Structure 1
Amino acid sequence: MSTTLRVLIADDELLARKRLSRLLSALPDVEVCGEAADGEAVLAAVRAGGVDVVLLDIHMPGLSGLDALALLPQGRPHVVLCTAHAEHAVEAFEHGAMDYVLKPVEPARLQKALERVRARMEPEARPREVSAPAEKPAAGATAPRALARLPIPTRQGIVLVDPETISHAALDDELVTVFTAQGEFLTDFTLNELAEKLPAELFHRVHRRALLNLRQVARLEPLETGGYLARTARGHAVEVSRQSARELRRMLGLRRGAEDEG
């Protein structure tokens, strides 16, 4: 049985709030727990508790949606940006947004965003729900998909890396290098194995030779091939193939050619 998602609608426009409320009322296991018309009201509602998801507009009086997103406390609810401004997508993901939905919000797109939130919440809640000691997995059982720490064997020992600090992994010749805030590490993992071990909501296979953490991307530069050159926050360049660029645009809600308009 699915847990009911408690959703806070944050938008300075009354009509936009009403539309979102109407769309949410048609979805199963979703409850509107409140509304906010500015960033300060968002922060106050989150601090009061009882919010699982914030549907957050960007342009609001006082604190913008991105300002409020950056100021949310630890243990905060998941955030889905609902905005007409596609150019802020990368910045939103850098601040930890779960998804980015363009206005006018379509019912199917909104439902997909909330399904992503629910999928993220289920493994987060599981350890709190289990009171008995965990049993050892049976022989041949599949390990959990996402690791809290990625173990990377090195000459100095096994380095345990927080996946969120990984910007990307790249295949060069036959070796894969993992680029992290702590440094660069060679690993015996293949890119496919890394993709299975790392959180799917963070890491995307953007090229046959590269795996990319979208939250670590500072800028996407269009290439003549139809792909992108992704610039990470630490200055690395990662090629995004043409096919992956199309998927990335769909995921970010970017229309074809939107990257050249601003």
Structure 2
Amino acid sequence: MNQPLRILIADDELVARKRLARLLAAFPDTTVCGEAADGEAVLEAVRAGGVDLVLLDIHMPGLSGMDALALLPEDGPHVVLVTAHADHAVDAFEHGAVDYVLKPVEASRLQKALERVRNRLVVKVPESGKGSAVEQLARPLTRLPIPTRQGIVLVDPGTISHATLEDELVTVFTSQGDYLTDFTLQELVDRLPTEGFYRVHRRALLNLAHVTRLEPLETGGYLARTTRGHTVEVSRQSARELRRMLGLRRGTEEEPPA
């Protein structure tokens, strides 16, 4: 049995907290470790420790969900934003959240968000002699159908390095070539494997298996360089999430080699 995912429910409405608690009770390997009705209580609970994930409402008295997210420590828990407004979805990724869930929360959508969190809690490093991270990622996956203006292209998800949004159109970059698609970035997120792919900017999705270098920016974010030489901007909040996932402290990547 997996170690239970310790979840803090943060919402200023009691009814909303009870609904989330009821939904979580039906999932195996999850436990509600506490509740919070405002941003200050969230920060206090996180400082006390024992929290793996915060289900964080955006609109709360005092500190908003976005404010509390910005104040969480880099080595703190993962965050899934819970909101009643779809227009906050883009901001969720920009602020470093793993995912967002729309109210009223549905069990199937909540389960998918929990799966994303679990995949980030376990960082798998390829063992010597067993192939690269790209090879290991590609083997168990099926083909992803990408609708393009030239027809449907069947792509191995493991070959996708990143996808970017430019002028309301998404381009998917792969080892074999680049494809302009009618998919939105969110539709790609929903269809791709939860492991390895990350929404690193409101206009970018990145596969870490294809990243060769993360160059720090003055904004606090990164410029990710891929194996094909492309560059992808990583937002400041997403950079914080990457540092935590990779076990880095802020500034570590800027230190010269000994």
TM-score scaled to structure 1, two decimals? 0.55
How far did 1:246 drift? 6.6
Output aligned runs, 1:37-52, within 5 Å.
37-52=37-52
**Aligned amino acid, residue 31 of structure 1:** T
**2:231 equivalent in structure 1:** none
The verdict on how the C-alpha distance between 1:85 and 1:142 changes in structure 2, with shifts beyond 3 A counting, is same
1:243 to 177, 183, 190: 183
Deviations 1:179-205 (A, max 9, x none): xxxxxxxxxxxxx89x749xxxxxxx6
Output aligned runs, 1:214-233, within 5 Å.
222=168, 227=169
Counting matched residue pairs gives 167
Deviations 1:209-253 (A, max 9, x none): x8237xxx8xx864xxxx469xxxxxxxxx9731245715868xx
How many percent identity over aligned positions?
60
2:163 to 189, 212, 215: 212
Output aligned runs, 1:156-235, within 5 Å.
196=158, 211-212=162-163, 222=168, 227=169
Q: Secondary structure at the match of 1:79?
A: strand
TM-score scaled to structure 2, two decimals? 0.56
1:144 to 127, 133, 141: 133
How far did 1:87 drift? 1.1
**1:89 equivalent in structure 2:** 89
**1:6 equivalent in structure 2:** 6
Distance 2:41 2:23 in 1: 22
Distance 1:111 1:144 in 2: 26
The verdict on how the C-alpha distance between 1:212 and 1:36 changes in structure 2, with shifts beyond 3 A counting, is same
**Aligned amino acid, residue 128 of structure 2:** P
**Aligned amino acid, residue 122 of structure 1:** V
**2:106 equivalent in structure 1:** 106
**Aligned amino acid, residue 13 of structure 2:** E
Q: Secondary structure at the match of 2:75?
A: coil
How far did 1:17 drift? 0.1
**Aligned amino acid, residue 243 of structure 1:** F
Uncovered stretches (5+) of structure 1, i.e. residues with no partner: 128-133, 147-191, 198-204, 230-238, 252-262
Q: Secondary structure at the match of 1:137?
A: coil
**Aligned amino acid, residue 137 of structure 1:** S
- Aligned CA RMSD, in angstroms, stands at 3.3
Distance 1:240 1:86 in 2: 25
The verdict on how the C-alpha distance between 1:50 and 1:99 changes in structure 2, with shifts beyond 3 A counting, is same
**Rg larger in structure:** 1
Q: Does 1:54 align with 2:5?
A: no
Uncovered stretches (5+) of structure 2, i.e. residues with no partner: 136-154, 172-178, 192-258
